[in-house]
Amino acid sequence: MVEKKSLRKKILFWGALIAVMAFCLFPFVMMFSSAFKLSEGQFDYPPKIIPQEITFQHFKDVFNPEVFPYFTFFKNSLMVASITAGLSVLVATFGAYSFTRLKYKGQKLIQRGVLFIYMFAGILLVIPLFQIVVNAGLYDTRLSLIITYLVQTLPVSLYMLGNYFRTIPESIEEAAIIDGCSRVEVIFKIIFPLSAPALVSVFIYAFMIAWNEYLFASVFLTSEGNFTLPMGLNSLFHTQHYIWGRMMAASLLTAIPVIVLFLMVEKFISGGLTFGGVKE
């Protein structure tokens, strides 16, 4: 009887897992399939997952600067996302360290205030941020996006790193301070190496937010030369003769860098580098 219940639970578990995975992966499978379909086969009914004829013309169109300046949009997105993620990690590291290790007046108020700001939807900040950007002379510049995305990602970055720093034994830092290290040296020589999994996770989080964001980019940018990939993808929908295969090919190429980045640093995310660091 016990074995039957156990077998039933396993079947239900794996059945539910497969159903959820199929539901999540189906849009990506259709996007991948449509990117290789001929234009005439995009609207076949019922839709076919495996194309009858495979074409690479849509990818050639995406890489054709006269049709879609993919590399310009890619360069802009990579620059904005990388700088935003790097600054978010750096600023959040010092901020989270001050929250977890230092004591000063107003600490709790500032800490709660940072998380309170995160509760506001991004669309509520469009108008005030737009006024700030215009008055600062940053309208239609990539710097306006970097500053905006940094403001967006900092609250969660501070929260994530703060929780991780609390797991690092303070005795390691105390030993370093006794040996003559300053607080800044402790952060760079102790906190940074031991927090590699958390720092990588925060970097990927901030990178993905900046890489995929569209709302603020559509408000702050007007020149095509400054467009990021989400803005570029949107422009494909407003051409006179838009082609679904071309849009799916561009969307697929936009998703690949984030997937590659995650696969490259996955071992750091899953690793716990603080394990065994000290015994108390």
DSSP state of 190: I
Q: What are phi and psi of 37, to 5 degrees?
A: -85, 150
CA–CA gap between residue 255 and residue 184 (Å, rounded): 37
Residues 26-64: tens digit of each pLDDT = 888 888 888 888 776 566 666 677 777 788 888 888 888
CA–CA gap between residue 155 and residue 149 (Å, rounded): 11
Superfamily, domain 71-227: MetI-like (1.10.3720.10)
Mean pLDDT value across residues 230-245: 76
Q: What is the pLDDT of residue 276?
A: 39
Q: What is the pLDDT of residue 242?
A: 63
Q: What share of the chain is helix, strand, coil (3-state, %, to 5)?
A: 75, 0, 25
Percentage with pLDDT > 90 across the chain: 22
Residues 128-178: tens digit of each pLDDT = 888 999 999 999 999 999 999 998 888 888 888 888 888 888 888 888 888
Which residues make Cβ contacts (< 8 Å) with residue 240, sequence separation at least 6? none
CA–CA gap between residue 92 and residue 156 (Å, rounded): 9
Q: What is the pLDDT of residue 145?
A: 93
Q: What is the pLDDT of residue 46?
A: 67
Mean pLDDT value across residues 8-35: 87
Is pLDDT at 223 greater than 60 in this prediction?
A: yes
Evaluate the CA torsion angle 258, 261, 266, 271 in order and state its sign: negative
Between 271 and 34, residue with greater pLDDT: 34
Q: Which residues of 28-58 are buried (b: 16+ CB within 10 A; e: fewer)?
A: eeebbbbbbbeeebeeeeeeeeebeeebeeb
CA–CA gap between residue 254 and residue 275 (Å, rounded): 36
Between 159 and 242, residue with greater pLDDT: 159
Q: What is the pLDDT of residue 277?
A: 42
- Let me know: does 252 contact 31? Beta carbons within 8 Å: yes
Model-level pTM greater than 0.85? no
Percentage with pLDDT > 70 across the chain: 89
| Residue 6 in tokens | 């156990």
Q: What's the pLDDT band for 275 if we cut at 50, 70, 90?
A: very low
